[in-house]
Amino acid sequence: MGRTYFVEEGIGQYLSELSTAVKPYVTGLLIGQCSPQRDYVIRAVRTPPKDQHKEQNSPPKLASLDEEWITTHASQVSRMLPGGLLVLGVFMIASPELAKDGQNALRKLIFSVEKSLTKRRLWKPTEEEVSDRAALQICSATKKVVCRTYDVQDPKSSAKPADWKYQSALSASWLALGCTVNVNIHIPLLATSPNHDLEKNTKNGLNRWSKQIEDSVFLINGQVKDDDTELLEGQKKSRGNTQSSTQFSDVKVLTQLCQGSSHRSTATVQVCSGSINLRGAVKCRAYIHNNKPRVKEAVQALKRDIINTLSDRCEILFEDLILNEGPQKKSFEREYHVLPQRLFVPVPGSSVMLSDYKFGDEAAGEIQERFVELLDQAVQAEEIHIAEGISTVDICPVPDNLEDTQQTQLTKATLLLKLQQNMGVVVAAAVAILASIFSFNYFSD
């Protein structure tokens, strides 16, 4: 028996409008949530159009699909999804003469999109997690809908039939969870690591931090709940289908100070040329469909949003630095940068809000253009809710006026002194006095 996709009714109208305007074909993404019993689709988003002057000179073929353009779009969209939502699959609306090769093209796109998204994640899917992704094909002439799924964990996966069912008011039946997480991450920069490896070092540091988030204790409305209990247990369930009836759970995150007695830690000596410091508070949010959700599913969705939002904004910052300063720049002068702020925008007719990030100098018009381009959604300026205050990043260079030989001598002397003072414990931070700190500071109101 194949999977069943419950689809927001408005998506049918959206796809119908695309099919009437389509020339040879159009592709796009399906956005929603997986669960063991059923899947929910709350948005379908077409791939942004690209310069197509070359296509006019030759007959259209699905082999000419720009795979890189589509996967890049999927990566950009995934940043705008709060916890609990993900790219569930891809769709294609094609003319009858192209429909024959449609499934092969969709299969290729599904695996390419999943590979691109997996590269960016700092978390790994669980064994019980749903790994099927949808391939939706619609004929622009007959309007026939064919939905199949592929297991993205199996490269040799074959197509399985799936049901595609429209349902009214689906987008209104969601539960929201939110929290503010205080961040204080210190990432040492090894002396052997060049300055231009800042992005790689940051990702390695975030990887270690993400494991702390995975091991944290989550208090839902002030209570610790068993993983397998229903999220709404002990609460009066809201039966309304309007946005005002959304049930919101306030979550507190308690990070463990140590890994416990079962994990032994050993002191490590690392010669460092500086460090990256992330400090501040991040606003996080996750959504779970209101169909007997378990605590385990809700907490997992929120954990992933916490990890994703910090990783995404660091990634955006480095992309901005490369765009403005060039990819070949290997040394940084002392500069102050604005870390992108998180904002939320409601999905029309839904209790769900999508996410985005803005720099301090970005106007509302730029955000509105981005939503139209990436999500095909018109947004009013008053609908943009800034979740956080302005954050700053202070980047300080390592001075180059200290000779390598002098630095080596000082390092050895400092370590020897520390070893004499603390037999058995070596503090890696002892070498930090040898150089200016390469700091990456994140502040938030």
Residues 295 and 216 reside in one and the same domain: yes
Residues 125 and 210 reside in one and the same domain: no
User: Where a domain ends, among 389, 406, 433?
Assistant: 389
Q: Which residues contact 278 (CB under 8 A, 6 or more apart)?
A: 183, 184, 185, 187, 205, 310, 314, 440, 441, 442
Task: Write the pLDDT tens digit of every residue in 233-249.
Answer: 766 655 544 444 568 88
Going by C-alpha positions, the residue among 313, 287, 290 that lies closest to residue 300 is 287
Task: Write the pLDDT tens digit of every residue in 247-262.
Answer: 888 999 998 765 554 5
User: Where a domain ends, among 338, 359, 389?
Assistant: 389
Q: Would you state the pLDDT for residue 443? A: 38
Residues 138 and 255 reside in one and the same domain: no
**Is 170:7 a contact under the CB 8 Å cutoff?**
yes
Q: Would you state the pLDDT for residue 445? A: 39
Residue 445 within a domain: no
Q: What's the pTM value of the predicted model, to 2 decimals?
A: 0.82
Residue 188 within a domain: no
Residue 284 within a domain: yes
61 against 244, higher pLDDT: 61
Domain count, the chain: 2
**Beta strands across the sheet bearing 341-346:** 353-358, 341-346, 385-386
Residues 135 and 213 reside in one and the same domain: no
Residues spanned by the domain of 307: 174-182+196-260+280-389
Identify the weakest region by mean pLDDT among 240-249, 351-360, 379-388.
240-249
Q: Would you state the pLDDT for residue 102? A: 86
Residue 152 within a domain: yes
Q: Would you state the pLDDT for residue 365? A: 94
Identify the weakest region by mean pLDDT among 272-286, 300-314, 342-356, 402-416.
402-416
Residue 275 within a domain: no
Task: Write the pLDDT tens digit of every residue in 13-35.
Answer: 999 999 887 678 899 999 999 98
DSSP per-residue letters across 196-247: GGHHHHHHHHHHHHHHHHHT-EEEETTB---TTSBTTTTSPPP---SGGG-E
Residues 160 and 201 reside in one and the same domain: no
Residue 405 within a domain: no
Residue 309 within a domain: yes
Residues 96 and 234 reside in one and the same domain: no
User: Where a domain ends, among 338, 362, 389?
Assistant: 389
131 pLDDT band (50/70/90 cuts)? very high
Residue 401 has pLDDT above 50, yes or no: no
Task: Write the pLDDT tens digit of every residue in 165-206.
Answer: 999 888 877 999 999 998 888 877 777 765 546 788 888 889
150 pLDDT band (50/70/90 cuts)? very high
